[in-house]
Chains A and B, each alone.
Chain A
């Protein structure tokens, strides 16, 4: 029995909703309050418009912002389709009515245009009364009213500009410091780059004879290796060196060739090949590749 009653109730509700959708359009107006407004106040009206089946709002014909009458402005009018049959319209008015004593003012009806069955029709918002109060005490004579003074000029925001200047300058200084650190330009703090130093030393000897260049280049790279590893590196120690500094591992073959060349140059003078300038170029290239790996480490 209860189930039957529930079903009947639901059917009634559904029928009511259906009737509402097919019935004549109607409006519901919501406003926050209707008292306590003064000249200059904004009044917001929230309208909900129910339209019948097949009807739609004619948005180009909606009232546009501007003067409604000599004391009322329509400031904004926004609409939103809430559902197939319901449109929400938010209207903001501004009151410019000056009063000596509390008064009741009336906002005139607003015409909302809609189209149904190919013809335009209008629905009007209801008149809306509200209480308007003066700001100047009514009993004050006109010649005793003190006008409010002029607006003053604004100071330019020098302080905030200064703070931004200091902030950006500090950031730039930090960036420069980081760059200096990266390039080893900070004494005692910068990264040690022994291979880069060795490359510079080798490059400075370009005008020297190939023998001198080869000799100095080999020594420079030996020193760079020792500085990098923290102790002199011999061919037998290469495994330990690569284990400690795996970044140089891709150059293992070149390191072995370097040690071979060093062995020949310093301990087997007779076995040295005649073309030292080619050796010098190879050595310089090897040093550069080491320096590149050193920088990426």
Chain B
């Protein structure tokens, strides 16, 4: 017992350490309980109730659920609410999924009608490329993003032929080219 007694620190130190450990245990207990609750919510993302304080990971799951249901606009809206939150790894996933939403809309259009939907495909692919790039800037090792971005480059419509800028008009005003009453005559 004397040996044990010598090993123990003084009573104030022991008391403070016990209180500190108790506080940390309480904090971790609350965290554990919250994580368990959130994991249950992740299992059923369709039922997640979103508020301003909802964890970004839950919003992410809800956005994915919306996208799976075909509600891409709502999914995009939700992704955009969390695009600046969380760790770089989280933001990379958000950018990547946003890019996928754009590309999944552009690819069938391009493969089905090609340049007939030029403007729409071009816009969607440009948005997808920008989001993939953002994801890759956050994590250059995101191979899925690399692969899909390469595909986005493959289906990028060729640039439209530019309007000719070599018009050599001899009239001083555009109104001068408008038809008018023929001059002259008897």
Which residues of A pack against B, CB within 8 Å?
38-42, 73, 75, 94, 96-100, 134-136, 142-143, 145, 147-158, 161-162, 164-165, 168-169, 171-172, 175-176, 178-179, 181-182, 191
Please, how many angstroms separate the alpha-carbon atoms of A73 and B140 in the complex? 12
B 36-68 contacts with A by CB, 8 A: 36, 38-39, 42, 45, 57-58, 60-61, 64, 67
Which of the residues A40, A98, A152 comes within 8 Å of B154, measured between beta carbons? Answer: A98
Chain A residues, CB < 8 A from B45: 153
A154 → chain B closest CB, angstroms: 6
A99 → chain B closest CB, angstroms: 8
A147 touches B148 (CB 8 A): yes
A39 touches B39 (CB 8 A): no
| B150 part of interface (Cβ distance < 8 Å) | yes
Chain B residues, CB < 8 A from A99: 150, 153
* 18 sample A-B contacts, Cβ–Cβ < 8 Å, listed by A number: A38-B146, A39-B149, A39-B150, A75-B137, A135-B147, A142-B111, A143-B111, A147-B151, A148-B100, A148-B145, A148-B148, A153-B42, A153-B45, A171-B17, A172-B22, A172-B25, A176-B18, A182-B8
Chain B residues, CB < 8 A from A153: 42, 45, 57-58, 60-61, 64
Q: Of B26-34, B161-169, B170-178, which binds chain A?
A: B26-34
B57 touches A172 (CB 8 A): no
B32 touches A162 (CB 8 A): yes
B117 → chain A closest CB, angstroms: 14
Chain A residues, CB < 8 A from B147: 135-136, 147-148
Residue of chain B at shortest CB distance from A96: B133
B111 touches A154 (CB 8 A): no
A182 → chain B closest CB, angstroms: 6
Residue of chain B at shortest CB distance from A158: B35
Chain A residues, CB < 8 A from B93: 151
B39 touches A148 (CB 8 A): no
B20 → chain A closest CB, angstroms: 8
Interface centre among B11, B25, B34, B36 (most CB of A within 10 A): B25
Please, how many angstroms separate the alpha-carbon atoms of A134 and B143 in the complex? 12
A151 touches B152 (CB 8 A): no
Nearest 5 A/B pairs, CB to CB? A98-B153, A175-B18, A148-B144, A168-B25, A158-B35
Chain A residues, CB < 8 A from B104: 147
Q: If the complex has contacts A155-B42, A172-B21, A182-B8, are A150 and B67 also in contact, measured as CB distance less than 8 A?
A: yes
Please, how many angstroms separate the alpha-carbon atoms of A156 and B111 in the complex? 39
| B69 part of interface (Cβ distance < 8 Å) | no
Please, how many angstroms separate the alpha-carbon atoms of A270 and B32 in the complex? 74
A134 touches B137 (CB 8 A): no
Please, how many angstroms separate the alpha-carbon atoms of A40 and B145 in the complex? 9
Please, how many angstroms separate the alpha-carbon atoms of A295 and B104 in the complex? 76
B14 touches A161 (CB 8 A): no
B14 touches A147 (CB 8 A): no
B14 touches A179 (CB 8 A): yes
B17 touches A157 (CB 8 A): no
B38 touches A156 (CB 8 A): yes
A59 → chain B closest CB, angstroms: 24
Chain B residues, CB < 8 A from A98: 149-150, 152-154, 156
| B115 part of interface (Cβ distance < 8 Å) | no
Which of the residues A40, A161, A168, A179 comes within 8 Å of B15, measured between beta carbons? Answer: A179
Which of the residues B34, B100, B153 comes within 8 Å of A147, measured between beta carbons? Answer: B100
Q: If the complex has contacts A152-B64, A165-B32, A172-B25, are A145 and B39 also in contact, measured as CB distance less than 8 A?
A: no
Please, how many angstroms separate the alpha-carbon atoms of A168 and B35 in the complex? 18
Please, how many angstroms separate the alpha-carbon atoms of A136 and B151 in the complex? 8
A35 → chain B closest CB, angstroms: 17
| B4 part of interface (Cβ distance < 8 Å) | yes
Chain A residues, CB < 8 A from B148: 147-148
Residue of chain A at shortest CB distance from B149: A39
Residue of chain A at shortest CB distance from B107: A147
